[in-house]
C-alpha cells in the first residue's frame, strides 16, 4: 500500500461526505450531544450525504481544498468511492 496514506478520524467508523458541504455538516453534527447527534448523523447517511467506512483505512488523496480533502478508500466495502473528509484525519 505504498502510495496510500491512512485516514483515521479516531473512531471505528469514518464519515466520508459526498461533497464538501456534507463533510462540514458532519463536523457540525459531531459537536452535538446524545440522541440529537445520532439522529443527525443517521439523517446525513440516509439522505445520501455520505457513507460510513470502517476505520482506519488506506486512502488515495485526490485533492485538498482548504481544510478538507477528497479521498478514495483503497480497501474495504467502499473501495473506489471518493468523498470529502477533514484534512486533519489524513495521516
pLDDT recorded at residue 52: 93
Q: What kind and span of H or E run contains 15?
A: strand 13-17
C-alpha neighbours within 13 Å on the C-beta side of residue 86? 13
pLDDT recorded at residue 3: 85
Number of domains in the chain: 1
Q: Measured between alpha carbons, how far is 6 from 76 in angstroms, rounded to an integer?
A: 13
Residues of the domain holding 23: 5-89
In tens, the pLDDT along 14-71 reads 999 999 999 999 999 999 999 999 999 999 999 999 999 999 999 999 988 889 999 9
pLDDT recorded at residue 45: 93
pLDDT recorded at residue 2: 54
pLDDT recorded at residue 55: 92
Query: Would you state the cell numbers that stand for residue 83, as one nine-digit string?
Result: 468523498
pLDDT recorded at residue 18: 97
Amino acid at each position: 500500500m505504498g502510495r496510500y496514506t491512512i485516514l483515521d478520524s479516531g473512531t471505528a467508523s469514518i464519515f466520508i461526505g459526498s461533497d464538501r458541504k456534507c463533510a462540514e455538516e458532519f463536523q457540525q453534527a459531531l459537536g452535538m450531544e446524545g440522541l440529537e447527534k445520532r439522529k443527525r448523523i443517521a439523517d446525513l447517511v440516509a439522505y445520501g450525504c455520505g457513507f460510513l467506512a470502517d476505520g482506519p483505512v488506506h486512502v488515495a488523496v485526490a485533492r485538498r481544498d482548504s481544510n478538507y480533502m477528497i479521498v478514495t478508500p483503497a480497501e474495504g466495502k467502499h473501495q473506489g468511492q471518493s468523498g470529502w473528509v477533514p484534512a486533519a484525519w489524513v495521516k
